[in-house]
Amino acid sequence: MKHALILAGHGSHISPETGGLVWRYVDRLRQTGVVDEVTAAFWKEPPSFAQAIETISAPQVTIVPLFTSRGFFTQRVIPGEMGLTGELTIRNGKEIRYAAPLHDHPLLAGIVRARIESALVSYGLPPDRTDVAIIGHSTRRHPQSRLATEAQVARLKSVGIPAWAVYLEDSPTIAEIYDMTVAPNLIAVPFFVAAGMHTTIDIPRQLGLQSGDREGTVHGRRVVYTPPVGVDDDLQEVILGLASEAGAHLNPVAYSDVDDLWRGFPTAGRDDLIAAVQQAGVLNFGGLTLSLNEVRVASGELELETLDHPAALRRRVRENPFRSLPTGRDLPAGWRVRIERPEWLHAIVETVYPGAVASWAAARRGALTISSLSSTARRQVGMFRPLENLTGEVQRGIVARVCGGCFALPLWAGARVADGPACPEPCNHWMSAALESIE
């Protein structure tokens, strides 16, 4: 029986690294062959939490939330968006397991200790003249979200390390660390998964450091700011450990065919896409030109850059400049990926437009579940709820403005099915734009 893993992260409209870290672990896990299909799911970027499960063909799915605390996102947003009823959900022939977040895995505590020890050695800080701040996100909306940070602090104190918990969106605040501690040196460890906007801009600012600085003097104290805890190779073992504890059946045998860099992708809609290209010879899909020999986005240049690796392709289309809406019409041109096996066709499209093939194939079969703005907003547990009552006229104006810059067809807003990415419900970009328009 086939198995799949979904790594669920926050994503971002601003920073490539928030989702980029999740994609790096997806790429690595696809190469291990530990399960048949691996993908990501995000709040802010495609594939959305709601959409990702639909891209999977395997009947056994395990979702691992890449969050450092059991809080608002892991207990309310992800279960609500993915329709999870608990640790095991059985739906549409799938067994969906929901793993614990990273927060109290022993290896994570080891990474926190390693961050502190590395800072002590690298900056020559005497341990008896150095305090430690563990910086969590937390939120007043969900009191439990601070517990993971507090647990890390308790662990450090139990081995004699003077540590305090402070929070980005709760109290005590990050700036209060200077009143709470007295040692001349301070090591600040962001208890965050990715080097995103919070860890590169928001936290340094609240600490009184310049963005990008690893060290500085604030209120007469020497402050050393470490990388977040998630950017560590060991996290792959934590992810697999959490999946296994949730009941995932992991394959201990790695692939022997090390040449296939395009393996391990989700496969819903794959055969339909291959058949459509075989039939058409050349198929335009969003901004892509597909054939059985290559996927390309041509420009006026004579020479197209040839890309040969999922990570290289993702960097090309996603990161420079950062595009958090993959189906946006600003798709970079001037590249091709050559195809050696028909399955690569799908894996390449899936890399450029995560989740799009599954919804395209389902729409062609008349099996795509379309969710209107009001039902999508009603499913939301947070800030998008007020959009439930947006008038048709306002919706149409936002569709024209936001979806007009997107290759996907907003079926939820009345667009007709055609070849190319199909959009079954308003995306996070659309919802964010709509919220701005009524505030």
Q: Which stretch binds ligand SF4 (CB under 6 A): 25-33, 189-197, 263-271, 400-408?
A: 400-408
At residue 224, φ and ψ (nearest 5 deg) are -115, 125
Smallest separation, CB 73 to ligand SF4 (Å): 21
Minimum distance from CB of 402 to ligand SF4 (Å)? 5
Nearer to ligand SF4, 184 or 414 (CB): 414
Among 9, 230, 264, 410, binds ligand SF4 (CB under 6 A): 410
Nearer to ligand SF4, 273 or 413 (CB): 413
Which one, 48 or 138, has the nearer CB to ligand SF4? 48
Separation CA 129–CA 146 (nearest Å): 27
Residue 433 CB, nearest distance to ligand SF4 (Å)?
8
Asked if residue 135 binds ligand SF4 (CB under 6 A), the reply is: no
Which CB sits closer to ligand SF4, 21 or 408?
Answer: 408
Residue 205: Cβ within 10 Å count: 13
Handedness of CA 98, 100, 102, 105 (dihedral sign): negative
Which residue lies nearer to ligand SF4 by CB, 151 or 408?
Answer: 408
Least separation, in Å, of the C-beta of 376 and ligand SF4? 10
Cβ 380 to ligand SF4 shortest distance, Å: 15
Q: Compose the 299-338 pattern: x for residues touching ligand SF4 by CB under 6 A, - for all others.
A: ----------------------------x-----------
Nearer to ligand SF4, 111 or 402 (CB): 402
Chain-centre distance of CA 299, in angstroms?
A: 30
* Footprint of ligand SF4 on 416-435 (CB under 6 A): 423, 426-427, 429-430
Counting residues that bind ligand SF4 (by CB under 6 A) gives: 11
Nearer Cβ to ligand SF4, position 336 or 429? 429
Out of 75, 408, 420, 434, the residue judged to bind ligand SF4 by CB under 6 A: 408
Q: What is the 3-state secondary structure of the chain?
A: CCEEEEEEECCCCCCHHHHHHHHHHHHHHHHHCCCCEEEEEECCCCCEHHHHHHHCCCCEEEEEECCCCCCHHHHHHHHHHHCCCCCEEEECCEEEEECCCCCCCHHHHHHHHHHHHHHHHHCCCCHHHEEEEEEECCCCCCHHHHHHHHHHHHHHHHCCCCEEEEECCCCCEHHHHHHHCCCCEEEEEECCCCCCHHHHHHHHHHHCCCCCCCEEEECCEEEEECCCCCCCCCHHHHHHHHHHHCCCCCCCCCCCCCCCCCCCCCCCCHHHHHHHHHHHCCEEECCEEECCCEEEECCCCCCCEECCCHHHHHHHHHECCECCCCCECCCCCCEEEECCCHHHHHHHHHHHCCCHHHHHHHHHCCCCCCCCHHHHHHHCCCCCHHHHHCCHHHHHHHHHHHHHHECCEEHHHCCCCCCCCEECCCCHHHHHHHHHHHC
Least CB distance from residue 322 to ligand SF4, whole Å?
16
Pick 335 or 407: Cβ nearer ligand SF4: 407
Q: CB of 371: closest distance to ligand SF4 in angstroms?
A: 11
Query: Which of 112, 406, 420, 434 forms a contact with ligand SF4 (CB under 6 A)?
Result: 406
d(CA 46, CA 318): 12
Residue 373 interacts with ligand SF4 (CB under 6 A): yes or no:
no
Q: Which is nearer to ligand SF4, 310 or 326 (CB)?
A: 326
Report the residue from 132, 403, 420, 434 that binds ligand SF4 according to the rule CB under 6 A.
Answer: 403
Residue 185 vs 327, nearer CB to ligand SF4: 327
**Nearest-approach distance from CB 362 to ligand SF4, in angstroms:** 15
CB of 273 to ligand SF4, least distance (A): 19
- Count Cβ atoms below 10 Å from residue 89 Cβ, excluding itself: 18
Residue 402 sits in the site that holds ligand SF4 (CB under 6 A): yes
- Minimum gap (Å) between residue 427 Cβ and ligand SF4: 3
Could you list the residues that contact ligand SF4 (CB under 6 A)? Answer: 327, 402-403, 406, 408, 410, 423, 426-427, 429-430
